[in-house]
Chains A and B, each alone.
Chain A
Amino acid sequence: QQQVKQSPQSLIVQKGGIPIINCAYENTAFDYFPWYQQFPGKGPALLIAIRPDVSEKKEGRFTISFNKSAKQFSLHIMDSQPGDSATYFCAARLTDSWGKLQFGAGTQVVVTP
């Protein structure tokens, strides 16, 4: 039973488009929401993260939007590039859980030239 539900499973956008990946959770005890980027054959790498008391965070072309009341958060990739083609995972950390993360199932993003 996945505590963090991620959608879509995959998406294809043209260069310059804005892929949007959505995640939803039920447990209100989550206190940290990171996104990871994974290229084929590599380990996941931390991309950007947000706390639940913040509604939006931007780092370069990556933006997280967080809706605490709806228990949803999303990743937007602005001006997407072919090099952004990767699998993206959202995650959530339970308070006082020794840093353990619950991961979404992942979204494969393909950015075409």
Chain B
Amino acid sequence: NAGVTQTPKFRVLKTGQSMTLLCAQDMNHEYMYWYRQDPGMGLRLIHYSVGEGTTAKGEVPDGYNVSRLKKQNFLLGLESAAPSQTSVYFCASSYSRAQYFGPGTRLTVL
């Protein structure tokens, strides 16, 4: 089992560019989450999904969109990147209480 995987690992964007981060899990979990991690702020929830075809906003959703077309995949999109979106992004999945995290994507927006 690979667990939770994320691609890419690193990315540099220019302001206004768009990109999609991919999260995949092979644990058959219903719930999936996208977080961003910034120094001194812990992990903040961007969007989450409670099942295939469903998504919902988290704590900091502005500037991001998500899709969950397949149970195992959860995509995070930035339509027009801004420097404030420079962060480390983590995906997680869960079947009840425990959340299992991927290795993260470090995104820099210039």
Contacts and interface: CB of A to CB of B under 8 A. Distances in A.
Contact of A105 (B42, B92, B96, B97): B42
Interface in A67-113: 89, 93, 98-101, 103-106
Interface residues of A, number: 23
B41 interface: yes
Given A42-B103, A43-B101, A43-B103, A99 B43 contact: no
B90 A89 contact: no
A45 interface: yes
Contact of A100 (B4, B33, B40, B42): B33
Secondary structure type dominating chain B contacts? strand
A16 interface: no
Nearest to A101: B99
A106 B98 contact: no
Contact of A89 (B42, B56, B58): B42
Interface residues of B, number: 25
- Highest count of chain B CB atoms <10 Å: which of A45, A89, A106: A106
30 contacts: A2-B42, A9-B40, A34-B98, A41-B104, A43-B104, A44-B43, A44-B90, A46-B98, A46-B99, A49-B97, A49-B98, A89-B42, A89-B43, A93-B97, A98-B31, A98-B48, A99-B31, A99-B33, A100-B45, A100-B48, A101-B43, A101-B45, A101-B99, A103-B43, A103-B44, A104-B42, A105-B40, A105-B41, A106-B40, A106-B42
Interface of A: 2, 6, 9, 32, 34, 36, 41-46, 49, 89, 93, 98-101, 103-106
Interface of B: 4, 31, 33, 40-45, 48, 50, 56, 58, 90, 92, 94, 96-104
